[in-house]
Amino acid sequence: MSIHERSRGAWVIAISFIVAMLLSIVPLPPSLHAFMPEWLLLVTIYWSMALPHRIGIGIAWCLGLLLDVLRDTLLGQYALVMALVIFLTVHLHQRIRVASLWQQAATIFVLCLIYMLIVFWIKGIQGLAPDFWMALISPLVSTLIWPAVFLFMRNLRRYYQVN
Amino acid sequence: MTLDYRTDTVRSIRAGLSIIVYPAQYLLDLPGSFIDWTAETFVTRRTLQEENTSLRTQNQILKTQLQKFTFIEAENVHLRELLKSSKRVGERVLIAELLSVNLDPFRRQVVINKGSQNDDIYVSQPLLDANGVMGKIVHIYPLTSTAILITDPDHSLPVQVVRNGLRTIAVGTGSDNQLELLYLPNNADIQVGDELITSGLGCVFPAGYPVARVTVVNTNPSLPFAEVLAEPAAKLDRSREVLLVWPTHASLPEMQTPCTRNREAP
């Protein structure tokens, strides 16, 4: 495999990450804040599942660090959870890939739940814990939106032949 | 994470990364600014004239009030001199603009377009809008800074009831447009509709700025304290222009004021 082939479609991946980051800080009315899916997490899960040899824990950690600065949280909070969740995804990617769309969504729910629980825990240590049931909404929304994200990203990947 | 929570050592890393993400924030802010710009550019002559007239009238009224205010201020300074008490002088302000981006979903924070590059902003500097106190600065980056709003669950500020000078603490609830007043006994003299202003006790906010208006007072004899809720005076979710204030704290002639010491500490 030549270097050129290896780096094919890197810009597609980069742009999808940038768009996901923009989506995760898009301004919304405060009442809708809790309903915001974790866009960056979903996109990163997709890429690490489809191309585990290219998108791994290191990239997830860097993305999480950027998300920390974007959201002005404790530096390393999202980096830690992103790295952890992506580790699990890379570990399980062969099982997730073959499952049907809604079975996949169930796995994503578990991953999002782990993500949310650790964020919740870190916030709790800082004394900023949000309402637990409100915090559960975001993983649910992320799960519901997963099939759409998955199909969109798969078409994107096939169209630009990223592999 | 612990380093960030306890110390200040990762500030430069944060600042560096913030420059990387600044384009993203700027990009997201563009549609909003563009709409503002078009709304300002494509207005009819009639609207402009009407606006001009109303502003003129408002200006007249404000000027008239200001005449009286100057007199009262002079009188106040004079009286304070007679009492050998501290003087209060005007504060320096700077107008900043909010970037319309969303931060952590469970907190109430905003990003403003002034950073350490342009001005001598400092951490915990008060932020106001035209109607009242909005919050204070928490992080300063080269191009932007983030501020915590008074409704954030992690924020509290010392306030005073205008009517009778009752002092209390207004704590953010995390929900929009609601503050909670803590540790008020059941028999405290507080009513719905009371105006709250900053008391200046915490040495962070200058005294005398409007904060909120009391909306709910629940006294339950079985609880140790009354449940009092208030609505912020500042339009927290609507203001786009905000004011950064450099407060000049009252200084007593015969003693070192506690606030200056507080200010010098990093």
Are A22 and B24 inside 8 Å of each other by CB? yes
The SS3 call for residue B111 is strand
Q: Could you report the per-residue pLDDT of A57-68, keeping only the tens digit for each? A: 999 999 998 888
d(CA B243, CA B241) in angstroms, rounded, equals 7
Range of the domain at A85: 3-24+35-159
Amino acid in the structure at residue B144: T
pLDDT band per the 50, 70, 90 thresholds, residue B255:
very low
Residues of B with CB under 8 A from a CB of A: 1, 3-5, 10, 13-14, 17-18, 20-21, 24-25, 27-28, 32, 100-109, 111, 138-139, 146, 153-154, 174-176, 237
Residue labelled with tokens 């007679």: B82
Q: Is residue A77 part of a domain?
A: yes
Residue labelled with tokens 């824990």: A57
d(CA A45, CA A21) in angstroms, rounded, equals 14
C-alpha distance from B235 to closest chain A C-alpha (Å) = 13
Q: Is residue A123 part of a domain?
A: yes
pLDDT of A8 reads: 73
CA B89, distance to chain mean position in Å, is 18
Q: Indicate the residue of A22, A66, A72 with minimum beta-carbon distance to B139.
A: A72
- The residue in chain B having the minimum alpha-carbon distance to the alpha carbon of residue A36 is B105
Q: Indicate the residue of A36, A77, A80 with minimum beta-carbon distance to B105.
A: A36
Instruction: Please state which architecture CATH assigns to domain B156-232.
Output: Beta Barrel (2.40)
Would you state the structure tokens that stand for residue B221, as one six-digit string?
């004899």
pTM: 0.76
B53 pLDDT higher than 70: yes
Residue labelled with tokens 């960030």: B4
Q: Is residue A76 part of a domain?
A: yes
Q: Read off φ and ψ for residue B242, nearest 5 degrees.
A: -130, 165
d(CA A134, CA B128) in angstroms, rounded, equals 30
Q: Is residue A100 part of a domain?
A: yes
Would you state the structure tokens that stand for residue B100, as one six-digit string?
């319309």
CA A12, distance to chain mean position in Å, is 16
d(CA B116, CA B27) in angstroms, rounded, equals 21
pLDDT band per the 50, 70, 90 thresholds, residue B252:
very low
Q: Could you report the per-residue pLDDT of B135-162, keeping only the tens digit for each? A: 989 888 888 888 888 988 888 889 999 8
Q: What is the CATH number of the domain that holds A142?
A: 1.10.1760
Would you state the structure tokens that stand for residue B84, as one six-digit string?
């050998």
Which residue from B82, B83, B115 is spatially nearest to B96, judged by alpha carbons?
B115
- Longest pairwise C-alpha distance within chain B: 62
Which residue from A41, A122, A53 is spatially nearest to A86, judged by alpha carbons?
A41
Q: Is residue A83 part of a domain?
A: yes
DSSP B242: E
DSSP B95: E
Q: What is the mean pLDDT of chain B?
A: 80
pLDDT of B254 reads: 46
Q: Is residue A29 part of a domain?
A: no
Q: Structural domain tally of chain A? A: 1
Does the interface predicted TM-score (ipTM) exceed 0.90? no
**Chain B residues within an 8 Å CB radius of A31:** 176
Are B17 and A66 inside 8 Å of each other by CB? yes
Please tell me if residue A32 touches chain B, with a CB cutoff of 8 Å.
no
Are B103 and A134 inside 8 Å of each other by CB? no
C-alpha distance from A137 to closest chain B C-alpha (Å) = 12
